[in-house]
Amino acid sequence: MHLFLGIDGGGTGCRAAVADASGHVLGLGQAGPANIASDLIGARDNILAATRTALAMAGGGDLAGLAAGLGLAGANAAGMADALRRALPFARIRVETDGIAAVKGALGARDGIVGALGTGSVFAAQVGGVIRQIGGWGLVLGDEGSGAGLGRALLREVLRAAEGFRAPTPLLQAVLAEHGGVEGVIAFSLAARPVEFAALAPRIVGADDPAARDLLAAAVEDVARSIAVLQTNPPLPVTCIGGLGAVYAERLTDRWTIAPPQGSALDGALMLAREA
Protein backbone atom coordinates (compact mmCIF):
# COMPACT_ATOMS: atom_id res chain seq x y z
CA MET A 1 0.00 0.00 0.00
CA HIS A 2 1.40 3.38 -1.03
CA LEU A 3 1.43 5.84 1.87
CA PHE A 4 1.60 9.62 2.00
CA LEU A 5 3.19 11.65 4.80
CA GLY A 6 2.22 15.20 5.73
CA ILE A 7 4.37 17.27 8.10
CA ASP A 8 3.34 20.61 9.60
CA GLY A 9 6.32 22.05 11.46
CA GLY A 10 6.89 25.38 13.16
CA GLY A 11 8.66 27.01 16.06
CA THR A 12 6.50 25.37 18.70
CA GLY A 13 6.05 21.83 17.45
CA CYS A 14 5.81 19.35 14.62
CA ARG A 15 2.79 17.26 13.57
CA ALA A 16 2.77 14.29 11.22
CA ALA A 17 -0.04 12.44 9.45
CA VAL A 18 0.20 9.25 7.38
CA ALA A 19 -2.61 8.68 4.88
CA ASP A 20 -3.44 6.10 2.23
CA ALA A 21 -4.02 6.76 -1.44
CA SER A 22 -7.68 7.62 -0.83
CA GLY A 23 -6.70 10.34 1.64
CA HIS A 24 -7.82 8.44 4.73
CA VAL A 25 -5.55 9.32 7.67
CA LEU A 26 -4.17 6.15 9.24
CA GLY A 27 -1.83 7.55 11.86
CA LEU A 28 -0.83 10.76 13.63
CA GLY A 29 2.28 11.82 15.51
CA GLN A 30 3.82 14.88 17.07
CA ALA A 31 7.20 16.02 18.31
CA GLY A 32 9.16 19.17 19.11
CA PRO A 33 9.92 22.29 17.02
CA ALA A 34 10.73 22.00 13.32
CA ASN A 35 12.01 25.39 12.16
CA ILE A 36 14.70 24.31 9.72
CA ALA A 37 16.32 27.75 9.54
CA SER A 38 17.01 27.99 13.27
CA ASP A 39 17.84 24.31 13.95
CA LEU A 40 18.09 22.02 10.93
CA ILE A 41 19.30 18.93 12.81
CA GLY A 42 16.79 19.32 15.62
CA ALA A 43 14.02 19.84 13.07
CA ARG A 44 15.07 16.71 11.15
CA ASP A 45 15.07 14.65 14.35
CA ASN A 46 11.62 15.92 15.35
CA ILE A 47 10.23 15.30 11.87
CA LEU A 48 11.48 11.72 12.00
CA ALA A 49 10.19 11.18 15.54
CA ALA A 50 6.71 12.42 14.64
CA THR A 51 6.77 10.34 11.44
CA ARG A 52 7.71 7.14 13.25
CA THR A 53 4.86 7.64 15.73
CA ALA A 54 2.37 8.22 12.90
CA LEU A 55 3.68 5.28 10.90
CA ALA A 56 3.46 2.96 13.90
CA MET A 57 -0.17 4.01 14.44
CA ALA A 58 -0.79 3.33 10.75
CA GLY A 59 0.41 -0.24 11.17
CA GLY A 60 4.08 0.17 10.43
CA GLY A 61 6.06 0.49 7.26
CA ASP A 62 9.30 1.71 5.75
CA LEU A 63 10.26 5.39 5.94
CA ALA A 64 11.88 5.05 2.54
CA GLY A 65 8.52 4.15 1.00
CA LEU A 66 6.76 7.37 1.97
CA ALA A 67 5.88 10.24 -0.35
CA ALA A 68 6.26 13.28 1.89
CA GLY A 69 4.90 16.80 1.82
CA LEU A 70 6.47 19.11 4.39
CA GLY A 71 5.24 22.57 5.31
CA LEU A 72 7.97 24.00 7.51
CA ALA A 73 8.99 27.25 9.12
CA GLY A 74 12.33 28.37 7.73
CA ALA A 75 11.92 26.63 4.38
CA ASN A 76 12.38 29.99 2.62
CA ALA A 77 15.91 30.44 4.04
CA ALA A 78 18.57 29.89 1.40
CA GLY A 79 19.65 26.28 1.08
CA MET A 80 17.63 24.96 4.00
CA ALA A 81 15.02 23.01 2.03
CA ASP A 82 17.70 21.28 -0.06
CA ALA A 83 19.73 20.46 3.04
CA LEU A 84 16.69 18.91 4.68
CA ARG A 85 15.85 16.83 1.60
CA ARG A 86 19.33 15.33 1.71
CA ALA A 87 18.89 14.51 5.41
CA LEU A 88 15.59 12.64 5.09
CA PRO A 89 15.05 9.06 3.88
CA PHE A 90 11.66 9.46 2.19
CA ALA A 91 11.08 8.21 -1.36
CA ARG A 92 9.72 11.53 -2.65
CA ILE A 93 9.86 14.86 -0.85
CA ARG A 94 8.27 18.23 -1.43
CA VAL A 95 9.34 20.96 0.99
CA GLU A 96 7.45 24.25 1.18
CA THR A 97 7.03 26.93 3.82
CA ASP A 98 4.47 26.36 6.53
CA GLY A 99 2.56 29.24 4.94
CA ILE A 100 2.04 27.34 1.69
CA ALA A 101 0.79 24.27 3.56
CA ALA A 102 -1.49 26.48 5.65
CA VAL A 103 -3.04 28.07 2.55
CA LYS A 104 -3.65 24.73 0.86
CA GLY A 105 -5.24 23.29 3.97
CA ALA A 106 -7.31 26.33 4.88
CA LEU A 107 -8.60 27.19 1.42
CA GLY A 108 -8.53 23.99 -0.62
CA ALA A 109 -9.35 25.17 -4.13
CA ARG A 110 -11.12 28.41 -3.17
CA ASP A 111 -9.75 31.94 -3.51
CA GLY A 112 -8.89 33.79 -0.34
CA ILE A 113 -6.28 35.16 2.02
CA VAL A 114 -4.79 33.26 4.93
CA GLY A 115 -3.03 34.73 7.94
CA ALA A 116 -1.15 32.01 9.81
CA LEU A 117 -0.47 33.43 13.26
CA GLY A 118 1.27 31.25 15.81
CA THR A 119 4.79 31.40 17.22
CA GLY A 120 5.69 33.08 13.93
CA SER A 121 3.52 34.58 11.21
CA VAL A 122 3.10 34.35 7.47
CA PHE A 123 0.42 35.59 5.06
CA ALA A 124 -0.63 34.34 1.64
CA ALA A 125 -3.34 34.78 -0.97
CA GLN A 126 -4.64 32.16 -3.37
CA VAL A 127 -6.32 33.29 -6.58
CA GLY A 128 -7.11 30.79 -9.31
CA GLY A 129 -4.84 28.22 -7.70
CA VAL A 130 -1.83 30.58 -7.71
CA ILE A 131 -0.40 31.34 -4.26
CA ARG A 132 1.41 34.54 -3.33
CA GLN A 133 3.12 34.57 0.07
CA ILE A 134 4.47 37.49 2.08
CA GLY A 135 6.19 37.57 5.45
CA GLY A 136 7.54 34.50 7.15
CA TRP A 137 10.93 36.16 7.63
CA GLY A 138 11.43 35.03 11.23
CA LEU A 139 11.58 37.02 14.45
CA VAL A 140 14.64 39.13 13.62
CA LEU A 141 13.20 40.51 10.37
CA GLY A 142 9.45 39.98 10.68
CA ASP A 143 6.86 37.76 12.37
CA GLU A 144 4.40 40.64 12.68
CA GLY A 145 1.42 39.77 14.86
CA SER A 146 2.96 36.47 15.97
CA GLY A 147 3.28 35.20 19.50
CA ALA A 148 7.03 35.74 19.35
CA GLY A 149 6.51 39.24 17.96
CA LEU A 150 4.11 40.09 20.77
CA GLY A 151 6.57 38.81 23.36
CA ARG A 152 9.40 40.84 21.85
CA ALA A 153 7.22 43.96 21.78
CA LEU A 154 6.28 43.45 25.43
CA LEU A 155 9.92 43.28 26.51
CA ARG A 156 10.72 46.36 24.47
CA GLU A 157 7.98 48.26 26.30
CA VAL A 158 9.28 46.94 29.64
CA LEU A 159 12.65 48.54 28.87
CA ARG A 160 11.10 51.77 27.62
CA ALA A 161 9.12 52.09 30.83
CA ALA A 162 12.21 51.37 32.93
CA GLU A 163 14.05 54.19 31.13
CA GLY A 164 11.18 56.66 31.49
CA PHE A 165 9.96 56.77 27.89
CA ARG A 166 6.48 55.69 28.95
CA ALA A 167 4.53 55.33 32.15
CA PRO A 168 4.97 51.95 33.84
CA THR A 169 1.88 49.76 34.09
CA PRO A 170 1.22 46.78 36.37
CA LEU A 171 2.04 44.38 33.53
CA LEU A 172 5.31 46.09 32.63
CA GLN A 173 6.40 46.29 36.26
CA ALA A 174 5.56 42.62 36.82
CA VAL A 175 7.50 41.42 33.79
CA LEU A 176 10.49 43.56 34.75
CA ALA A 177 10.50 42.12 38.27
CA GLU A 178 10.12 38.54 37.02
CA HIS A 179 13.24 38.94 34.88
CA GLY A 180 15.27 40.47 37.69
CA GLY A 181 15.43 43.97 36.27
CA VAL A 182 16.72 45.50 33.06
CA GLU A 183 19.83 43.32 32.95
CA GLY A 184 17.72 40.20 33.21
CA VAL A 185 15.46 41.30 30.36
CA ILE A 186 18.49 41.92 28.16
CA ALA A 187 20.05 38.58 29.07
CA PHE A 188 16.79 36.80 28.24
CA SER A 189 16.56 38.54 24.87
CA LEU A 190 20.06 37.45 23.88
CA ALA A 191 19.45 33.76 24.48
CA ALA A 192 15.71 33.20 24.02
CA ARG A 193 14.29 31.29 21.05
CA PRO A 194 11.11 32.47 19.30
CA VAL A 195 9.01 29.96 21.26
CA GLU A 196 10.27 31.51 24.51
CA PHE A 197 9.34 35.00 23.36
CA ALA A 198 5.95 33.62 22.33
CA ALA A 199 5.38 32.31 25.86
CA LEU A 200 4.90 35.96 26.88
CA ALA A 201 2.04 36.54 24.41
CA PRO A 202 -0.74 35.33 26.77
CA ARG A 203 0.26 38.17 29.10
CA ILE A 204 -0.94 40.59 26.40
CA VAL A 205 -3.96 38.92 24.81
CA GLY A 206 -7.09 39.77 26.75
CA ALA A 207 -5.21 41.54 29.55
CA ASP A 208 -6.83 44.59 31.13
CA ASP A 209 -3.63 46.62 31.15
CA PRO A 210 -2.96 49.81 29.16
CA ALA A 211 0.33 48.52 27.77
CA ALA A 212 -1.24 45.20 26.77
CA ARG A 213 -4.08 46.97 24.98
CA ASP A 214 -1.62 49.22 23.13
CA LEU A 215 0.57 46.30 22.09
CA LEU A 216 -2.35 44.21 20.83
CA ALA A 217 -3.83 47.16 18.93
CA ALA A 218 -0.49 47.74 17.22
CA ALA A 219 -0.24 44.04 16.33
CA VAL A 220 -3.74 44.08 14.85
CA GLU A 221 -2.70 46.97 12.60
CA ASP A 222 0.44 45.07 11.53
CA VAL A 223 -1.70 42.07 10.59
CA ALA A 224 -4.21 44.28 8.78
CA ARG A 225 -1.45 45.91 6.72
CA SER A 226 -0.17 42.51 5.60
CA ILE A 227 -3.66 41.42 4.60
CA ALA A 228 -4.23 44.72 2.76
CA VAL A 229 -1.13 44.14 0.63
CA LEU A 230 -2.65 40.87 -0.58
CA GLN A 231 -6.20 42.11 -1.08
CA THR A 232 -7.86 42.37 -4.46
CA ASN A 233 -10.88 44.20 -5.82
CA PRO A 234 -13.44 42.84 -5.03
CA PRO A 235 -11.96 41.84 -1.66
CA LEU A 236 -11.09 38.24 -0.91
CA PRO A 237 -12.38 36.54 2.25
CA VAL A 238 -9.82 36.29 5.04
CA THR A 239 -9.08 33.17 7.08
CA CYS A 240 -6.99 33.45 10.25
CA ILE A 241 -5.42 30.28 11.58
CA GLY A 242 -2.87 29.27 14.20
CA GLY A 243 -2.83 29.75 17.94
CA LEU A 244 -3.59 33.47 17.63
CA GLY A 245 -5.86 33.20 14.59
CA ALA A 246 -9.10 33.63 16.53
CA VAL A 247 -7.70 36.68 18.35
CA TYR A 248 -7.14 38.54 15.08
CA ALA A 249 -10.22 37.22 13.30
CA GLU A 250 -12.39 38.72 16.03
CA ARG A 251 -10.73 42.11 15.59
CA LEU A 252 -10.85 42.19 11.78
CA THR A 253 -14.54 41.41 11.21
CA ASP A 254 -15.32 45.08 10.54
CA ARG A 255 -12.77 45.26 7.71
CA TRP A 256 -13.18 42.06 5.66
CA THR A 257 -15.30 38.94 5.41
CA ILE A 258 -13.83 36.39 7.80
CA ALA A 259 -14.15 32.78 6.62
CA PRO A 260 -13.48 29.64 8.66
CA PRO A 261 -10.68 27.32 7.49
CA GLN A 262 -11.64 24.35 5.33
CA GLY A 263 -8.85 22.27 6.86
CA SER A 264 -5.54 22.49 8.70
CA ALA A 265 -1.95 23.03 7.65
CA LEU A 266 -1.49 19.29 8.18
CA ASP A 267 -4.20 18.69 5.57
CA GLY A 268 -2.29 21.05 3.29
CA ALA A 269 0.92 19.11 3.89
CA LEU A 270 -0.83 15.89 2.82
CA MET A 271 -1.90 17.70 -0.36
CA LEU A 272 1.76 18.58 -0.96
CA ALA A 273 2.67 14.91 -0.45
CA ARG A 274 0.28 13.88 -3.20
CA GLU A 275 1.95 16.45 -5.48
CA ALA A 276 5.48 15.32 -4.60
Q: Which residues contact 269 (CB under 8 A, 6 or more apart)?
A: 6, 7, 8, 17, 69, 70, 71, 101, 105
Query: Is the model's pLDDT at 2 over the cut of 90?
Result: no
Residue 223 lies in a domain: no
> What is the domain range of residue 97?
4-109+264-275
Convert the pLDDT of each residue in 65-92 to its tens digit. Answer: 899 999 998 888 889 999 999 999 998 9
What total of structural domains would you count in the chain? 1
Distance of CA 20 to the CA centre of its chain: 26
Reported as a pLDDT band with limits 50, 70 and 90, residue 6 is very high
Distance of CA 181 to the CA centre of its chain: 31
What separation, in Å, do the N-terminal and C-terminal C-alpha atoms of the chain show?
17
When mean pLDDT is compared across 50-54, 105-109, 186-190, 201-205, the lowest value belongs to: 105-109
How confident is the model at residue 235, as a pLDDT? Answer: 95
C-beta of residue 204 within 8 angstroms of C-beta of residue 154 = yes
How confident is the model at residue 1, as a pLDDT? Answer: 57
The average pLDDT across 197-224 equals: 95
Residue 95 lies in a domain: yes
The average pLDDT across 174-189 equals: 96
Query: Is the model's pLDDT at 276 over the cut of 80?
Result: no
CATH number of residue 26's parent domain: 3.30.420.40
Taking the C-alpha atoms of residue 139 and residue 257, their distance in angstroms, rounded to an integer, is 28
Convert the pLDDT of each residue in 119-169 to its tens digit. Answer: 889 899 999 989 898 988 888 888 899 999 999 999 999 999 999 999 999
Residue 188 lies in a domain: no
How confident is the model at residue 182, as a pLDDT? Answer: 96
Q: Which of 1, 2, 72 is nearest to 37 (CA)?
A: 72
Residue 251 lies in a domain: no
Q: pTM, whole model, 2 decimals?
A: 0.81
Residue 20 lies in a domain: yes
Residue 91 lies in a domain: yes
Residue 271 lies in a domain: yes
Residue 33 lies in a domain: yes
